[in-house]
């Protein structure tokens, strides 16, 4: 387990719920990029695959938690994209 990887995932883990909450409250996605979210999602999926097949440790739970919040934010993007 890399302490730096865990630190990165914790920082992202704090950021995604805040971003998701802001999207929910504003009900507007002006200035957000769905393409950016897709790139981040791709990175998380790659990280999860790496953890599952090559280096399984507790950080996988941070990947899964962050992926969940990201998917929720992406859902809200589609829901409120008409603003």
pLDDT digit string (tens) for 11-38?
988 999 999 999 999 999 999 999 999 9
With pLDDT > 70 as the criterion, what percentage of the chain qualifies? 99
Examine residue 15 and state whether it is found in any structural domain, yes or no: no
Q: Report yes or no on 10 lying in a domain.
A: no
38: in domain:
no
- How many domains would you assign to the chain? 1
Spatial distance between the Cα atoms of 47 and 32, rounded to a whole number of angstroms = 23
Q: What is the pLDDT of residue 48?
A: 96
With beta carbons less than 8 A apart as the criterion, state whether 41 and 70 touch: yes
Task: Give the pLDDT of residue 33.
Answer: 93
Residue at 53 is within a domain? yes
Specify if 34 maps to a domain.
Answer: no
Flag whether 78 is in a domain. Answer: yes
Global pTM value: 0.88
What pLDDT is attached to residue 1? 63
CA pair distance 22, 37, nearest whole angstrom: 15
pLDDT at residue 82, as a whole number: 85
59: Cβ–Cβ under 8 A, 6 or more apart, which residues?
1, 2, 5, 6, 9, 51
Q: Which residues constitute the domain of residue 54?
A: 44-83
Angle at the Cα of 19 (from 55 to 14), degrees rounded to 5?
45
């Amino acid at each position: 387990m890399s302490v730096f990887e865990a630190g990165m995932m914790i920082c992202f883990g704090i950021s995604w719920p805040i971003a998701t909450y802001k999207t929910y409250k504003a009900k507007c996605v002006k200035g957000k990029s769905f393409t950016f979210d897709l790139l981040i999602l791709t990175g998380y999926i790659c990280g999860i695959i790496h953890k599952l097949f090559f280096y399984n440790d507790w950080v996988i739970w941070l990947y899964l938690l962050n992926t969940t919040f990201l998917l929720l934010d992406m859902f809200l993007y589609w829901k409120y994209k008409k603003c």
